[in-house]
Structure 1
């Protein structure tokens, strides 16, 4: 699916700043084209769907934790249901 976004670009000192107005992302570059390329990459990364990963926790890290919590969020909500898991 193709999407179009509006990007404002301006110069601040020696840098060009590019800001996507619809999703409030910004990037910069030493040239206008570099700033545009950087904001395009930032938008692509922002829109990339998350991929679930389960990473093993190092034992030393777990030894210092008193409790582990998992927070669940629904799109558009600031805080969703909370599920707590005790170690």
Structure 2
């Protein structure tokens, strides 16, 4: 079974929290296991999955490493090139 997930654009903190939680579950990691890797409490990991806007950049990078994600940044496609029916 492959754990590969396609790249996803994120535009909200809610989406980020959902992505981090889904990646953790795909890797069959508990919140406590992720917390231990990040030096946080299980309660804090639970909170941050719901409030990803409060993650520090350092925490985000560590979390990505812990759950097997890669953080990439790039320019958005222009609005003219997107399918307007998706909006």
Same fold (TM over 0.5): no
Superposition TM-score, scaled by structure 2 size: 0.22
**TM-score normalised per structure 1:** 0.22
| Greater C-alpha Rg | 1
Return the structure number with greater helix share.
2
**Greater strand share, 1 or 2?**
1
Higher relative contact order (CA 8 A, sep 6+): 2
